[in-house]
Structure 1
Amino acid sequence: MPPAAVPDDVLTTPFTDYLLRNAREDRPAFTCRTFPGPADHTLTWPQLLARVRGVARELRRVTRPGDRVAIAARQDLGYVTAFLGTLYAGRIAVPLSVPTGRTNRARLEAAFADATPAVCLTSEDFADRVPVAARALEDIEPDDAEPPATVAMSDPAYLQYTSGSTRRPAGAVISHRALVASCWQTTQCYRADASTPLVGWVPFFHDMGLVLLLATPVFLGSRSVFCTPMEFVRDPLRWIRLLAEHPGAVTAAPNFAFDLAAEAAGELADVDLSHVNSLLNGSEPVRADTVENFARAFAPFGLPRAAHKPCYGLAEATVFVTSAGDEGATITTFDGKPHVSVGKPYGQRIRIVDKEIQVSGPNLADGYWGRDDVLAPDGWLRTGDLGFVHEGQLYVTGRLKDLIIVDGRNHHPQDIEATVEAAHPSVRRAAAFGVRDGRGEGVAVVAGCSAPGEEVETAVRRAVSAGHDLPLRALWLVRPGEVPRTSSGKVARAAARERWWGENGRHD
C-alpha cells in the first residue's frame, strides 16, 4: 500500500517553531469549556506563548537537559501550557492523568516508577498527591523573553504511556520527528488547515487526545476547543453541540462514545451538523452497528454519513496508522459477518505478516523507555494486532495476545463480547478472555448487567453457544461500570481475567 511521503521540511522543522510562528497573530488558540454554564476559557496564541515560556523558565531552574517532567494535571489550559512548556524547555514530557481513584493512582505510580521524573507539573489541589517534587501550574508566571531550546529532531519529545489493555503500561519514546510526522499525517488525511477547528474531550494523557487536541492545533495554527472526559460522560451531547458550534471541525473518540451519543440523540434539538468535517472512530474495535446507529441518529441534524471515519493507531506509532478518508466508513461482509474498514495509511507503510499488522514510517516510537527491546527492527513495528487488507483497505480483526484458541479454533474476543451484549437488553459492556483449567482451554466472560439473574445468564450462555459453538467456562454478571477499562475506554481483558478468574482460584 504505497503512501504519500512526509515532506522533508516537516521532518526537519522543530515543533516549537510552529508555536513561535502562530504567536505572530492575535487569534484564539485553545479554548476550555467548563460546566455548568457553559463557560469558555480561551488563550490567544501570544498569551499561550507567554505561559509556555513561563513554564520553560521554571523547568530550566529546577531540571537539567534529559530530565523527564511528569504532567499530572486537570484537563484545562494548564495542561496545554505544561506540555508545550516542557517541549519548549527541551525536557522530556510525561503526560499522565490526575492522581484520583484507585485505578488512576496505580497507573500513575507505575509510570512514575518507570520514567523517574525529576519534577511534576500539576494542578494546585493535587500538588501533595504526587511522589516527586511538584510545581503548581497556577503559581507559574508568564514570561515574554525565554528562548526555546535547541533540540535534534531525533531527541525524545515525550513518553507516551500505553493504556495497558494487555500488559503493564510502558513508555513509548516519541521523538520530535515522530510528533510532527503524526501531525502531518492527521492534517493530510482530513484535509485540515489553519481554519479547521479541532474539537473534543478525549484525555490529553491518551495519544488520541494529545495529538489531535493539543499538538495538531499547534502544527496547523488552528483552534482547539475541548472539555473534560467527565463532562462528556455526564452528557454525551455536549460533544455533539461543540461540533455544531464549530463548523468544519475534526474530532475523535473511541467507539463506545459514538454509542453513548447515539443513545442520547433523542434529547438533541436545533443543531446543524451538516458542516462537520470528520469524526474519527478509533482506539478500540469499530463496530458496524455503531456506525449504522450513529448515522441514523444524527442524519436528521444534517450529519454527512461520510464524516464518520473509522481509524487505527497505537501509542508506538505516536497515534496515527490508517484512517478512512473522504469516502467515510466502509462496511464489508466476510464469512457472514460485517467488518468495518479502518482505511489506508498516510505517510507510512503497512504490511501483514502471519496475519499480524506491521507498520513502518517516520511516526514510529524509538522504543520503550528504559528497556532494551526495539520497537521497529529493520524499520518495521510489530503491532500485536491482527488484520488483513482488502481492496486497499485495512481491516483489524483483534489482538494477537487476546486471541482465544479452543480445540484448535480461533475466536476473537470482541466477537464473543458483541454476542453477549446483544443477548439481553440489560447487558452492557462485556469482557471475554481465554482461560485454562483441568478441562483445558475455554472461554470466560465478565459482563456489566443492570438486572442480573437466571434469565440473563441463560440468555447469554445460549447466545454464545449458538453463535460461536462455545460453552462458557465461567460467567460473571456484575454491576454496570465494573468491567475494567483502560485509560482510553477500551475493555481491559487482561485485568478482567486477573480479577475474576484469579479471584476464583483458577490460575493457569
Structure 2
Amino acid sequence: MPPAEVPEDVLTTPFTDHLLRNAAAGGPAFTCRTFPGPSDETLSWPQVLDRVRGVARELRRRTRPGDRVAIVARQDLGYVVAFLGTLYAGRIAVPLSVPTGRSGRARIEAAFADATPAACLTSKAFLEKLPPVVALAIEDISPDDVEPPAEVAMADPAYLQYTSGSTRRPAGAVISHRALVAACWQTTECYHADASTHLAGWVPFFHDMGLVLLIGTPVFLGAHSVFFTPMEFVRDPMRWIRLLADHPGAITAAPNFAFDLVAEAAGEPVDLAHVNSVLNGSEPVRAASVEGFHRAFAPFGLPRGAIKPCYGLAEATVFVASAGDEGPTVRTFDGRELVSVGRPYGQRIRIVDKEIQVAGPNVADGYWGRPDDGLFTEDGWLRTGDLGFEHDGLLYVTGRLKDLIIVDGRNHYPQDVEATVEAAHPAIRAGRVAAFAVGDSRGEGVAVVAGSAVQDDDEVATAVRRAVSAGHDLPLRALWLVRPGAVPRTSSGKVSRAAARDRWWGENGPHD
C-alpha cells in the first residue's frame, strides 16, 4: 500500500494559525510537572498566546526578519513560549540545551558560532553563562494581547535543528514552516491523534523528537502536552510510566535505552490499559528492549500494539517511519534479530546501495550555511547515512554508514558487537557500551569501551573478549572497562561511539 500524502491544505496553513485557533477555543495547552511532589503548572491556550505575543514583541524590537534567535533555557513552560514566540515573530529559532558541564558549554559555543544568533532567549540562571549576544530572560517578558503574527512563506526557515553526536562542526538542519506542519501531520496520521490526545514525556525540547512531539504536535492539534525534565526521568524512571497512567490516551516517545531503564524499575501497580502509543526511536531499537519493556508492563494492562518502534532523523524534521497498530515486528535475518521500524507516513523511502533515502515535505532544506554538503542525491533525495532494507513492506534499519566496522573485507555492525559485550558478563551495563573501528600497523580492527560494575577485572575482560571472538570472529584490538557513567553520550542520550574513540583511542592509537 503506497504511503499517504500530506494534504495540500496542511502544507499551506501557517503554524501560527493553529495557535490562534487554539486560543480561540481555550482549554489546557502545556503542563510542566516538577518534583518533589509532583506539582503541575499549566498554561491555557489563551495564556500561551499572550505570552508568545510578548516574546514576539521583544524580539521585533531587537532583531530583524531572518535573524536567528537561540533558545538556551530550562525545560519548562518558558522554553515552550520562547520557541513559539520566535516563530510568531517571524524569526528563525535555534533550540539548544543548557550550558551545563564542559561538553554542554562546548556544544552551545559551537552552535552559536555556526548559527550566529542575533539574540538569545534564556532562563535567568543562565544569563551570565552565554556567549556574547543580546540575551533576554524569558521570565522578565510581560504578556501582550495585541501583537500580530508575522507573515511568513511556508518555505521560509522556521528553526535550525542541530544534530547530536557528530565530531565535525555542528550542523543545523534548516526546518521550514512547511516541514514542521508536515511532521506534525505525520504524527497525527500515524497515531490517530486528535485534540483529545495527551502528548506526554520528558525527551528534551532541543532534540527533534521532543520538539515536534511535545511542542509542535500539541499546537498543530490543539491538544494537551504534559512534560517534565530528562534529569527527573533519570532520577526515577517510573515517573514516565506514572505520567502515562495519569493521562489516558497519551502518546509518548523515548530512546531505546530508556525502555531498559524503566523496565528494570517496574513493579508498582499502574493502569496502562489506555495508553495510545509508546514510541521507541532516536537510536537503534533492540528486540531485547522491546520484549523486556512489554514483559514488565503487560501485567499492568499495556497493550503490545501500543509499543511503536520508529525511525527518524533531524534532517527529516523527525519522522520517517513507524510501526502502526500492529505494534513491534521482530524478525531474524541471517542469524541477526531485527526490529522493524514500520512504514512511512507522508513521505517516500527507497534503498540505494543499502542506504536509506527519503523524499517528502518534511525533509530539511539542507544545513545552515552549507548548501553543498552532500546531504542530497542528484535527483533530490535525502541521504540519511543509515543502512537498511525493506521486507514485506516494512523498513528495517541495520546501522550507520559512518559507524560500520569493516575487518578483512567483512562488515560488522557496532550495535551487534555491543549487544554481544552486554550479554558477556552480568557486570556489563546495558546501554553503556561503545564499539568502534580502529586502525594501526596491523590494519583495521575493533575496540570496545564498556561500562562495568567492576573495572580492572580479568574475569570480566576475558568473558568479553571470548564472547566477541566467538560471536563475530573478531579479536578485540583494545578493551576498556570503565565506570558506566564514563561512557560518553550525545546531548540526546545516545552512546557516542565517535567520542569514545577519540577519548580512548585518539589519532595515534590507544591511551588510558
Q: Name the TM-score, length of structure 2 as normaliser.
A: 0.97
State the aligned residue count.
505
Q: What is the aligned partner in structure 1 of residue 497 from structure 2?
A: 493
Instruction: Give, in whole Å, the separation in 1 of the partners of 2:32 and 2:104.
Output: 22
Structure 1 residue 379, shift from structure 2 partner: 2.7
Trace 1:299-378 onto structure 2 (pairs within 5 A).
299-373=298-372, 375-377=375-377, 378=379
Q: 2:52 is matched by which residue type in structure 1?
A: V
Instruction: Give, in whole Å, the separation in 1 of the partners of 2:352 and 2:510.
Output: 34
1:426 paired to 2:432: no
RMSD: 1.1
Structure 1 residue 337, shift from structure 2 partner: 2.1
Q: 2:502 is matched by which residue type in structure 1?
A: E
Q: 1:15 is matched by which residue type in structure 2?
A: F
Q: What is the aligned partner in structure 2 of residue 84 from structure 1?
A: 84
Instruction: Give, in whole Å, the separation in 1 of the partners of 2:288 and 2:508.
Output: 34
8 Å CA contact 1:437–1:506 kept in 2: the answer is no
Q: What is the aligned partner in structure 2 of residue 295 from structure 1?
A: 294
Secondary structure of the residue that 1:431 maps to in structure 2? strand
Structure 1 residue 165, shift from structure 2 partner: 4.1
Secondary structure of the residue that 1:502 maps to in structure 2? coil
Q: What is the aligned partner in structure 1 of residue 463 from structure 2?
A: 459
Q: Deviation string for 1:323-364 (max 9, x for gaps)?
A: 000000000111122110000000000000000000000000
Trace 1:34-45 onto structure 2 (pairs within 5 A).
34-45=34-45
Instruction: Give, in whole Å, the separation in 2 of the partners of 1:211 and 1:201.
Output: 13
8 Å CA contact 1:307–1:328 kept in 2: the answer is yes
1:447 paired to 2:450: yes
Secondary structure of the residue that 2:16 maps to in structure 1? helix
Instruction: Give, in whole Å, the separation in 2 of the partners of 1:399 and 1:14.
Output: 35
Q: Which runs of 5+ in 1 are unaligned?
A: none
Q: What is the aligned partner in structure 2 of residue 476 from structure 1?
A: 480
Instruction: Give, in whole Å, the separation in 2 of the partners of 1:27 and 1:212.
Output: 19
Structure 1 residue 252, shift from structure 2 partner: 0.3
8 Å CA contact 1:165–1:493 kept in 2: the answer is no
Instruction: Give, in whole Å, the separation in 2 of the partners of 1:301 and 1:177.
Output: 40
8 Å CA contact 2:351–2:389 kept in 1: the answer is yes
Q: What is the aligned partner in structure 1 of residue 100 from structure 2?
A: 100
8 Å CA contact 2:29–2:44 kept in 1: the answer is yes
1:187 paired to 2:191: no
Q: Deviation string for 1:48-85 (max 9, x for gaps)?
A: 00000000000000000000000000000000000000
- Quick check: 495-504 or 8-17, which moved more? 495-504
Instruction: Give, in whole Å, the separation in 1 of the partners of 2:289 and 2:159.
Output: 33
8 Å CA contact 2:359–2:380 kept in 1: the answer is yes
Q: 2:55 is matched by which residue type in structure 1?
A: V
Instruction: Give, in whole Å, the separation in 1 of the partners of 2:36 and 2:169.
Output: 37
Instruction: Give, in whole Å, the separation in 2 of the partners of 1:165 and 1:263.
Output: 30
Q: Which runs of 5+ in 2 are unaligned?
A: none
Q: 2:311 is matched by which residue type in structure 1?
A: Y
Structure 1 residue 275, shift from structure 2 partner: 0.2
Q: What is the aligned partner in structure 1 of residue 119 from structure 2?
A: 119
8 Å CA contact 1:165–1:491 kept in 2: the answer is no
8 Å CA contact 1:91–1:157 kept in 2: the answer is yes
How many percent identity over aligned positions? 82
Structure 1 residue 153, shift from structure 2 partner: 0.2
Instruction: Give, in whole Å, the separation in 2 of the partners of 1:13 and 1:457.
Output: 58
Q: What is the aligned partner in structure 2 of residue 204 from structure 1?
A: 205
1:401 paired to 2:412: no
Instruction: Give, in whole Å, the separation in 1 of the partners of 2:177 and 2:40.
Output: 31
Structure 1 residue 426, shift from structure 2 partner: 1.1
Q: What is the aligned partner in structure 1 of residue 393 from structure 2?
A: 392
Structure 1 residue 166, shift from structure 2 partner: 5.6
1:438 paired to 2:438: no
Q: Deviation string for 1:142-164 (max 9, x for gaps)?
A: 00000000000000000000012
Q: 1:491 is matched by which residue type in structure 2?
A: V
Q: Name the TM-score, length of structure 1 as normaliser.
A: 0.98
